[in-house]
């Protein structure tokens, strides 16, 4: 089977602290996979390694068949990465920002225009794209940076806490956008969250993490069954407390 992402025994330490311990998992095209864990569980370290910002101490991962260790340049052409506190150039209008990002990915004007049009559709900001980004609310900014992350149709989109700090309605909009992009464009998503509801309502599969390792992996339904829980929060609590 061809995976969008195939993680093979990656590990990472910071001095004496082992942040990620022998983690392996796969994501198929168009699949959404959620990493669930408390702060310090190792979620962000995994995302940064896969985004080629950190080099694993051991192990490897293949993204669209390319190694993050041996071919990081090729990997970067197939991924996009949205950090937790990602922002945008506040003196630009929303549309100019999308045009700027499109110009980094595509040389042909036709391709750039198609990319921007898709970005406009994905963010759904309408006339607000004519305004400067420094006038945007946090929710509007998050929708814009999510659009720039997926409008290039990457093989893998890596999202760190995509709804962090957003209200309920903006969070719902972001989740709907992620699911739509996975379904319509075949983009695979890897997202991290400490909100179980986000993973339950967005991801096809996920993993519960603690101390840099996976405690359990599966669909939300499988995790509920494994821990005999009624909610994913309850399953998470049982997994973490019993480890």
Give the per-residue SS3 of 90-114: CCCEHHHHHHHHHHHHCCCHHHHHH
**Rounded CA separation 129/138 (Å):** 14
**Contact assessment for residue 188 and residue 157, using Cβ atoms and an 8 Å cutoff:** yes
CA-based nearest residue to 105, from 144, 73, 77 = 77
Domain annotation for the chain: domains and CATH numbers: 1-78+157-169+188-243 (3.40.50.300), 80-153 (no CATH)
User: To 5 degrees, how large is the angle CA 220–CA 194–CA 161?
Assistant: 105
- Other C-beta atoms closer than 10 Å to the C-beta of 201 total 15
- Give pLDDT, residue 198: 84
210 contacts: CB under 8 Å, gap ≥ 6: 37, 38, 41, 239, 240, 243
Paired with 36 in beta bridges are 193, 208
**Rounded CA separation 103/87 (Å):** 18
* pLDDT tens figures, 157-180: 999 999 888 889 999 999 999 999
- Give pLDDT, residue 86: 72
- Give pLDDT, residue 21: 96
**Rounded CA separation 67/9 (Å):** 13
Residue 117 — very low, low, confident or very high, per pLDDT cuts 50/70/90?
Answer: very high
Q: What average pLDDT does the segment 37-61 reach?
A: 96
Residue 85 — very low, low, confident or very high, per pLDDT cuts 50/70/90?
Answer: confident
Query: Full-prediction pTM beyond 0.85?
Result: yes
**Rounded CA separation 169/118 (Å):** 22
Q: What is the pLDDT of the chain when averaged over all its residues?
A: 94
CA-based nearest residue to 149, from 201, 190, 206, 109 = 190
**Rounded CA separation 185/188 (Å):** 9
The single residue listed with the structure tokens 């599969």 is 205
Paired with 7 in beta bridges are 25, 61
- Give pLDDT, residue 1: 66
**Contact assessment for residue 193 and residue 161, using Cβ atoms and an 8 Å cutoff:** yes
Q: What average pLDDT does the segment 140-166 reach?
A: 93
- Give pLDDT, residue 88: 80
**Rounded CA separation 219/201 (Å):** 11
- Give pLDDT, residue 124: 94
**Rounded CA separation 39/130 (Å):** 37
**Rounded CA separation 32/199 (Å):** 9
**Residue 60 clears pLDDT 80, i.e. is over it:** yes
**Contact assessment for residue 172 and residue 188, using Cβ atoms and an 8 Å cutoff:** no
Residue 57 — very low, low, confident or very high, per pLDDT cuts 50/70/90?
Answer: very high
Helix axes 94-105 and 138-150, enclosed angle (nearest 10):
20
Q: What average pLDDT does the segment 62-73 reach?
A: 96
């Amino acid at each position: 089977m061809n995976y969008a992402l195939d993680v093979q025994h990656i590990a990472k330490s910071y001095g004496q602290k082992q942040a990620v311990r022998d983690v392996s998992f796969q994501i198929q095209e168009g699949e959404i996979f959620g990493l669930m864990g408390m702060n310090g569980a190792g979620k962000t370290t995994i995302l940064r390694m896969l985004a080629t910002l950190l080099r694993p101490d051991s192990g490897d991962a293949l993204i669209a068949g390319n190694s993050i260790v041996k071919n990081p340049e090729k990997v970067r052409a197939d991924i996009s990465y949205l950090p937790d506190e990602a922002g945008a150039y506040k003196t630009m209008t929303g549309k100019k920002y999308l045009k700027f990002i499109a110009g980094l990915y595509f040389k042909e004007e036709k391709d750039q225009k198609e990319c921007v049009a898709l970005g406009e559709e994905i963010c759904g900001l309408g006339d607000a794209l004519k305004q400067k980004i420094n006038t945007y609310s946090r929710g509007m900014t998050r929708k814009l940076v999510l659009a720039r992350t997926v409008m290039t149709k990457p093989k893998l989109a890596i999202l760190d806490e995509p709804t962090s700090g957003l209200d309920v309605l903006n969070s719902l909009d972001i989740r709907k956008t992620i699911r739509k992009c996975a379904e319509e464009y075949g983009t695979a998503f890897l997202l991290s969250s400490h909100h179980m509801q986000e993973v339950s309502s967005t991801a096809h599969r996920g993993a519960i993490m603690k101390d840099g390792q996976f405690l359990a992996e599966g669909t939300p339904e499988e995790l509920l069954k494994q821990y005999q829980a009624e909610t994913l929060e309850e399953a998470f609590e049982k997994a973490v407390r019993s480890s």
